[in-house]
Chains A and B, each alone.
Chain A
């Protein structure tokens, strides 16, 4: 290793005396005056000694003094060089630049206001989106070592996020080595009855033993569940959610040991959860936690999949390692139990990211990107404004450059100005974000409760800071760079007659405008398509009459209705009671209503046809209904007949299928009398779609069974006739006062509340688009105004030479319109790209609707036309005499 040829010894200084350096620099900062005075005196002493020296050599005193001065060189420059050695020069420069920046802000309050406002909007919207992104995609989990928590999904050819069966879960649990603990949960509503209070349906979760311990939760009162409480018969215990404990029981500290009647059984409260929200499934607030006791039958069941599975990795076990192990277990299960497990996989997702499926994540990311567009437009706008402003200062900059200010320093100063503007904008932006967050969290709801908390935490504030820095750099860098390389001669010469700026600058400005317009068009097109798509979706016929239908949900406790006969008796009586109510045209009971989806699905094979490959059987939605179901919902029979009471007593179970299934499997023949999974098809009805689920547009295969054939504890009541939900409650209370009806009300309200979140999204996009449009219009207005101001003299000459007002008007308008047309053309490309992405995320949207694109393009062009027309009119009214006199 040879020595550095330049031999710079300072570079070798490994043993720098750091403390000494810090002391020196602090001194340089705090005692600048003293140090400068000392420097001055030192130089004076030096000069004197030199003079003395020269006098000794025989010069006369006067001559010696001048000679010494000459030899010394330019004192101020040397002093500046010395000051730079103190190592704090940059700080002093920064302070000076900041002072100048602040002075500039106050000197041009109009510009400052526009700039701060624009940045605040851009940064605010993005920060708000970022907090939403954070809250939804990477939820901060209130559990210790939450990075080791995962959710485990079962993947099938049909779905990426299927639940698990009990037997499978027990195998995962016994066969894995990489998990510290594994647990399952399933949500279940409980009917809570207390003497003197009306029955209430509360949202509950049933969890396997050790589930809460796995998460690392400590109760604030009482205890969690013990291992014994995991067995059937011992599970009559409950842990209350903190908020529910406060609301329902007034935060009673003596609640432990209190016995509640849940689903008709006595259940003892053993604990109260801590205060944080433990909504691990993001299905809305949970009120009660109960043990999940598996019966022996369940422990052998691999077909019924209803469990959500979670796990905590052992310390030091990597995510990939655990994933590999679960894949191995899945392969083993597929081999050992091909009937239920073939073509299935197991996928780990970090718990913090598992709340939203891929589609939801895509929507959130997309929204974030679109918010980014708004910020980009804001930056482009400010860059143009900054151009106009630096143009008026080119002279000053040129002179400073000529006097020896290094280009870097000028660049730094201009950048400091734009950055300080950006930071002020960012601070205001945080308020904007706060306001947006409040608005968003009150608008986005699950079951009428806003579950999304959007706090402004350190990370979001960091994001706001980063966004302002980036935008400050983005809108400051190009103008500053162009200004700092100004040709001194040119600037001084032109400066005398009002700067025209150079060509490069105009090119950049025009490019920025084109980009702004293009981005704005993409935003408008995206928003237009979503709004239009949702409106189109809402007006689609779902295949059943939503209006005039009142629905309610009922869950009967197994303890009171332990078997099919008990349920059937209750159902029959309820059906009769409902039908007899005044004002009821027809009434029905069913497993599920086609609002967002059917809750029950299953794969099937058609008898007499070759079986599908294992795991690739077609899937149909199943619903159990009483005979008046089809009439009540307004569906029509295409073939065959409705269910009759004798259907249940016959040997062969019967089903009714939908048109889609009939057409798909019996395209050229009647399906009546054919058999599916041992069931005989007796009728074909029209298709129904889910009017509240724009993500699921394809009509699925649907099969209806008689309710009496397989009565379930969870029921939906539906009656036609304009009734209030209370009537349903009273009708049920007549039969069993312990059973509450939840969410009773018009079906249209249920559909509407599910669609509301989509509507919030489309409003959000519309806001982005309008913001983008206004900013782009403002930008083009600014640039064209600048163009007119710079060329007032030229316009004056033209008019003096006989140009008419119209010519001038078109000169200016043409310039602006060329830019916006060009931007629109590029924007169309962007719009088509965006539409494709949107279409893949929200299948309900039409792939691309030319009318929407045409509409937004026209809107954009008209707005930009108006933005150009204002300055153009001003130009056309230029009085040649005034214009030339100003020259």
Chain B
């Protein structure tokens, strides 16, 4: 199966989106992005964790220790209020960009 490189800067947005529904731990985020993208997008740990820490530093997500499915202590990330707003901002920006790129690509 061919994997596509994540567009630069979109990882933060994807993480925020994935966290929108429920708090998950880091490993879960990896898997969720993979699943939701039908195995097209894969997120390496090398970029995931720095991104998580970055988002946390910005105050968009917060973390909490909890129990994982197999009863292991794991750190769960949750969207904050500021994070929800940020997600909206990024969503709008993303839509706009997609539209713009599509227009360019469809031009004669």
In the assembled complex, A457 has its CB within 8 A of some CB on chain B? no
CB A92 to nearest CB in B, in angstroms, measures: 14
B68 contacts A49, C-beta separation under 8 Å: yes
In the complex, whether A16 has a CB less than 8 A from a CB of chain B is: yes
B83-96 CB contact bits vs A (8 Å, 1 = yes)?
A: 00110011001101
What chain A residues lie within 8 Å of B75 (beta carbons)? 38, 41-42, 45
Knowing A7-B9, A86-B53 touch, does A13 contact B73 (C-beta < 8 A)?
no
Which chain B residues numbered 57 to 99 have a C-beta less than 8 Å away from chain A?
57-60, 68, 70, 72-75, 80, 82, 85-86, 89-90, 93-94, 96-97
Residues of chain B contacted by A83 (CB below 8 angstroms) = 53
Cross-chain contact A15 with B27 (CB below 8 angstroms): no
Residue count of chain B within 8 Å CB distance of chain A? 41
- Bound Cα distance from A85 to B93, whole angstroms: 23
Whether A7 touches B45, Cβ cut-off 8 Å, given contacts A24-B57, A41-B73, is no
Q: Given contacts A9-B90, A45-B75, A50-B27, are A15 and B85 in contact (CB under 8 A)?
A: yes
Instruction: Tell me if A73 and B44 are in contact (CB < 8 A).
Output: yes
A874 interface residue (CB < 8 Å to B): no
In the bound complex, do residue A12 and residue B27 qualify as a contact, i.e. CB atoms below 8 Å apart?
no
Q: Which residues of A contact B97 (CB under 8 A)?
A: 2-3, 5, 7
Do B12 and A10 touch (CB < 8 A)? yes
The A1-44 residues at the B interface (CB cut-off 8 A) are: 2-10, 12-17, 19-21, 24-25, 28, 38, 41-43
A52 interface hit (Cβ, 8 Å): yes
Do the beta carbons of B53 and A85 come within 8 Å of each other? Answer: yes
User: Is the pair B94, A7 in contact by a Cβ cutoff of 8 Å?
Assistant: yes
How many contacts A-B (CB < 8 Å)? 125
Question: Does A170 touch B at the CB level, under 8 Å?
Answer: no
Cα of A659 to Cα of B54 in the assembled complex, Å: 89
Q: CA A181 – CA B90 in complex, angstroms?
A: 63
A159 touches B (CB below 8 Å): no
Whether a CB of chain B sits under 8 angstroms from the CB of A679 is no
A17 in contact with B82 (CB, 8 Å): yes
A180 at the interface (CB under 8 A from B): no
Query: Which of these, A25, A73, A85, contacts B45 with CB under 8 Å?
Result: A73
Number of residues from A at the complex interface, CB < 8 A: 45
Alpha-carbon separation in the docked complex, A12 to B88 (Å) = 11
| Contact in complex: A49, B58 (CB < 8 Å) | no
Distance in angstroms between the alpha carbons of A836 and B80 in the assembled complex: 71
Residue B105 interfacial (CB < 8 Å): no
CB atoms of B50 and A10 under 8 A apart: no
Nearest CB of B to A124, in Å: 44
| Chain B contact residues, CB within 8 Å of chain A | 7-10, 12-13, 25-27, 31, 44-46, 49-54, 56-60, 68, 70, 72-75, 80, 82, 85-86, 89-90, 93-94, 96-97, 100
Can you list 25 A-B contacts (CB < 8 A)? A7-B7, A7-B10, A9-B93, A10-B12, A12-B89, A17-B58, A20-B58, A21-B59, A38-B75, A42-B74, A42-B75, A43-B49, A46-B27, A46-B45, A50-B27, A52-B70, A71-B45, A72-B46, A78-B45, A78-B46, A82-B49, A82-B53, A83-B53, A84-B50, A86-B57
Q: Using a CB–CB distance below 8 Å, which chain A residues touch chain B?
A: 2-10, 12-17, 19-21, 24-25, 28, 38, 41-43, 45-46, 48-50, 52-53, 71-74, 77-78, 81-87
Extra contacts, 10 of them, besides A4-B93, A17-B58, A45-B74 (Cβ < 8 A), are A9-B12, A9-B86, A15-B82, A20-B82, A24-B59, A46-B26, A46-B27, A82-B52, A85-B51, A85-B57
